[in-house]
Chain A
Amino acid sequence: MQRYIIIRGFHAILTLFAISLIIFALTRASGNPADVLLPEEATVEDFERLRAYWGLDRPLHVQYAVYLGNIFTGNLGESIKWPGKSAGELILQRLPATAKLTIVAFTVSVLLAVPLGILSAVKKDSLWDAGGKLFALLGQAVPNFWLAIMMIWIFAVDWNLFPTSGKGEGTLDGIHHLILPAIALGAFGLAAGMRLSRSAMLDVLDSEYVKLARIKGVPEWKIIWKHCLRNAALVPITYFGIQFAGLITGSVITETVFAYPGVGLLAIEAIRARDFQVVQSVVVVFAFIYVFVSLLVDILYAYLDPRIRLT
């Protein structure tokens, strides 16, 4: 187990270095930031001064070292669109909103997906199952931005039940503002998770040890809850690790539709204003979070399934 964690941790660090290198290379390839920042009538001396200020006159490997040092000390550079604010400050300010939205969507989708998937599998070919399968199919095909807009149309505008955008003030209003975005963000994960839990449960129900338990006369509820659930849960757990990536992508879209002030909306606002310093900082922060979360999921998985850590 220890060896497995060390190897995976090493891989994670390697990945982080590579990501920082790629982002660094891409930002340098996108041209001289001085061109964007300086007005047209700027002189050659102005350019030189700015290059020196940003450290662009030094050799590339030195620039990269400085960049890397800045990332690890949390200094992500200054924003162009929001003068006087650093990219790190902006992200930190927006991160709680995104975290709240993502965690709510994720938790609700997991809490619903696993029981519904299991119900679908246990009552295979019943009306429950048909409904579950239909929901899973639709949920995986519906574009979440469209679902979000249709929900705004029906629930927010027509029925006037929810606000159309924003974050709200205070706890209760905040929850009120969170419901529609959370549904839009969680729908895909719920559908995919349901489908996966169902097929995992069907596989387990078909296995030899379940048949043996039935022959021994173990009551059906005990078979389902004690014998099947733990083994069937393995598949969805790895999947939810992968789904985390989808949540990040989804949060950018959902936050844009609902004008919900999170990190995703920050990135979109920044790209519209051509503020690449903020854009690349968001990318780096999200990549780091993703690497960290997938490391945790892998370790959890190895802990639950001994076959992985022993190979």
Chain B
Amino acid sequence: MASIELSSPTYGTGRFIRTWETARRYPLVPLAILIFVLAIPGIFATQITDTWLQDPLEGRLTERLTPPVWQEGGTWQHPLGTDKVGYDIASRVIHGARVSLIVAGLSILSGGFVGTVLGLIAGYFGGWWDHIIMRLVDIKLSIQSVLLALVLVGVMGPGFHTVIIVIALVLWVRYARLVRGETLALKNQDFIAKARVAGASNFRIISRHLFPNVVNTLIVLATLEVGQVILLEAGLSFLGVGIPRPTPAWGLMVADGRNLIAAGNGWWISLFPGMAILLTVLSMNLLGDWLRDKLDPKLRNV
């Protein structure tokens, strides 16, 4: 039977290679890392540690400074070792994923919302609105994130809400700038003029005609930002102006190991939470790059 091969050239032995070629087009490795390092631990943290590990807030002083299991003196009870007050590192790294997820989610949602609304207003109405909002952007940019955190910690005291407000205040600026730019390009197009002729109110034009056109951009920006937010939160916690102790936050855990490492002991206390940050941020950046190329290639230089 004469059939014509229409598939792409098949070198080698067919199916396995073809599956591999298809798979390569998707960011599978970063996705897998995100699922195993961030998503599963973040969602099921309590279940995982209840079943296998000690509670993240339980310090067993008698078992303090146990090295990881493959080292001399390590036990399976503490696969990644314990720190100087007997906290279980593995348990806390797993719970830290949840802290990072919550902080990233809440701060990106709130910062993204404020930035998008202000960007739409600045771009659509122009004039004084635009001037005022863009000056606000300048002002924000000149106070760096860590310094902003220092001032707000002074005013509101340290805590979860302070971290989220600080990060949201850092983030809204990027959304506002980007959405403003997109709105400026969109608002002179025909479909906006037609909506206005049809009697649509400003609110309707913004919410029904402009906003849907910037959604792709927003999704890409949000994905690209998750990694940055996790880094920022970890940095703030590391400095002691972020998540307060004894919450298991990755940045705090790295900070806990600093003095011991300088004294030549307990490298595992800082190593593992840091690896968790590195892997998460790396995969999130790769995923964001891929999504950008798919949805919104013009964001290349953002």
A interface residues (Cβ-Cβ under 8 A, vs B): 11, 14-15, 18-19, 22-23, 26-27, 29-30, 137-138, 140-146, 149-150, 152-153, 156-157, 164-165, 196, 199, 235, 245, 248-249, 252-253, 256-257, 267-268, 271-272, 274, 276, 279-280, 282-283, 286-287, 290-291, 294
Contact = CB atoms under 8 A, between A and B. Distances in A.
Contacts of A143: 231, 234-235, 238, 251, 254, 274, 277-278, 281
Interface stretch (B12-20, B41-49, B102-110, B137-145): B137-145
Given A11-B135, A245-B141, A253-B146, A141 B278 contact: yes
B155 A29 contact: yes
B238 A253 contact: yes
Given A26-B155, A146-B274, A150-B270, A249 B144 contact: yes
B255 A271 contact: no
B27 interface: no
B29 interface: no
Contact of B142 (A15, A145, A279): A15
A254 to B, nearest CB: 11
A279 B154 contact: yes
A310 to B, nearest CB: 19
Interface in B136-180: 138-139, 141-148, 150-155
Contact of B274 (A150, A157, A256, A280): A150
A interface, by DSSP: helix, strand, loop or mixed?
A: helix
Contacts of A267: 147, 150
Contacts of B152: 26
Shortest beta-carbon contacts, A-B, top 10: A146-B274, A141-B282, A141-B281, A30-B155, A164-B262, A283-B147, A249-B146, A276-B154, A145-B238, A249-B144
A56 B255 CA distance: 39
Contacts of B150: 267-268, 271, 279, 282-283
Nearest to A246: B144
A286 B144 CA distance: 8
A156 B263 CA distance: 10
Given A143-B277, A256-B239, A279-B154, 19 more contacts: A14-B135, A15-B135, A15-B138, A18-B135, A18-B139, A22-B143, A26-B154, A30-B155, A141-B282, A143-B281, A145-B255, A146-B270, A153-B270, A248-B147, A249-B146, A253-B238, A271-B154, A276-B154, A287-B147
29 contacts: A11-B138, A15-B139, A15-B142, A18-B135, A19-B139, A26-B151, A26-B152, A138-B282, A141-B278, A141-B282, A142-B281, A143-B234, A143-B274, A146-B270, A146-B278, A149-B254, A149-B258, A149-B270, A157-B263, A248-B144, A249-B146, A252-B147, A253-B238, A256-B239, A271-B240, A287-B142, A290-B141, A290-B142, A294-B142
A132 to B, nearest CB: 16
Contacts of A276: 154
Contacts, number: 144
A279 B151 contact: yes
Contacts of A164: 262
Contact of B257 (A15, A23, A149, A235): A149
A170 B143 CA distance: 34
Nearest to B282: A141
A6 to B, nearest CB: 16
A30 B240 contact: no
A237 to B, nearest CB: 13
Interface string B239-257: 1110000000001001101
B264 interface: yes
B144 A137 contact: no
B143 A146 contact: no
A30 to B, nearest CB: 4
Contacts of A235: 301
Contacts of A145: 234-235, 238, 251, 254-255
B142 A142 contact: no
Contacts of B264: 157
Nearest to A270: B150
Given A18-B135, A235-B301, A149 B144 contact: no
Contacts of B213: none
B290 interface: no
B231 to A, nearest CB: 6
B35 interface: no
Nearest to A286: B147
B154 A146 contact: no
Contact of A287 (B143, B241, B301): B143
